[in-house]
Amino acid sequence: MKRQITFISIAASLLLMSAALPIKNQEKKKKVLIETVYGNMVVQFYDETPKHRDNFIKLAGQKYFDSLLFHRVIRDFMIQGGDPDSKGAPAESQLGNGGPGYEIDAEFIPSLYHKKGVIAAARESDQVNPQKKSSGSQFYIVQGKVLTMEQLKQMEEKINFPKKKQLVFNYIEKPENRSLKLKIDSLQKIRDLKLLNETFGEISKTVEPEYQKLELFKYSEEQIQAYTTIGGTPHLDQNYTVFGEVVEGLNIIDSIAMVPTDKNDRPLTDVIMKISIIEE
């Protein structure tokens, strides 16, 4: 409850405090409590993704999430909820398409990544959503798994592959390499995969020095530390907006991820959520 201050002697101080109130109130609304039968989780939102933070806080304040389900649960991957159609949905219902009727522009921040415990926005596939806009309400919390350095290196190579592919293509298309292009065309026609792979392998070695000069994606030391200790889902990085993380109740993610599910990854026993704003 707010106090009413009526002393004229502190009027100047009151004016200063009033000017600061909107900022303070916003600062207070950066955490939510997610309650489930398996235990509770506290989520802290990131300031770097204000559109997603403010939208989630708004919906939580409207009790939008209350009685909705974690309708999609995949062990060693994530737990997903926020579909309004999941409220009281019969067991055979197909869930995952509901929302508030709007999307949110992607907020991809390189320093925010899919370590275990982060909350991120679900979205439709690239084919129908090339801008990678987020669902207005559906979210997932990452469980993931611990990875090795070798696996992370392979993921770096996969992320950087389009750049290597472009260099190879440019090399083949050079006028002075016309005979090489004709050779590749001929091998493709007769489907000689062995010689094709050998040829592309040689070209790849040739363009390697140029490739190494490019600005290539590499995991930071912080990301490596997280992915090789607590785990996560790095293949989702920069494809789905990460906008907060579980700061209390990390083990609850594991408990929910372990529940038996049907062929559509819906828990056989409903996992109902209640989400409320934590005022500090």
Least confident of 3-17, 51-65, 122-136, 190-204: 3-17
Q: How confident is the model at residue 279 (pLDDT cuts 50, 70, 90)?
A: confident
189: which DSSP letter?
Answer: H
Architecture of the domain spanning 28-146+230-278:
Beta Barrel (2.40)
CA-to-CA distance for 215 and 210, rounded, in angstroms? 11
Q: Is the pLDDT of residue 14 over 80?
A: no
Q: What is the phi-psi region of residue 89: left when phi exceeds 0, alpha when psi lies from -120 to 50, beta otherwise? A: beta
Tokens of 130: 């090339």
Q: How confident is the model at residue 2 (pLDDT cuts 50, 70, 90)?
A: very low
Q: Is the pLDDT of residue 19 over 80?
A: no
Q: Is the pLDDT of residue 9 over 70?
A: no
- Domains in the chain: boundaries: 28-146+230-278, 149-212
CA-to-CA distance for 244 and 34, rounded, in angstroms? 13
pLDDT averaged over every residue in the chain: 90
Percentage of the chain modeled with pLDDT above 70: 89
Q: How far apart are the first and last CA of the chain?
A: 13
Q: Is the pLDDT of residue 7 over 90?
A: no
Q: Among positive and negative, which fits the CA dihedral 265, 266, 267, 273? A: positive
CA-to-CA distance for 246 and 113, rounded, in angstroms? 13
pLDDT value of position 29: 55
pLDDT value of position 92: 83
pLDDT value of position 20: 42
Each residue of 54-112: pLDDT tens digit? 999 999 999 999 999 999 999 999 999 999 999 999 988 999 999 999 999 999 998 99
Give the residue with greater pLDDT, 147 vs 23. Answer: 147
- Residue 45 in contact with residue 243, Cβ under 8 Å? yes
- Residue 228 in contact with residue 147, Cβ under 8 Å? yes
Each residue of 112-168: pLDDT tens digit? 999 999 999 999 999 999 999 999 999 999 999 999 999 999 999 998 999 999 999
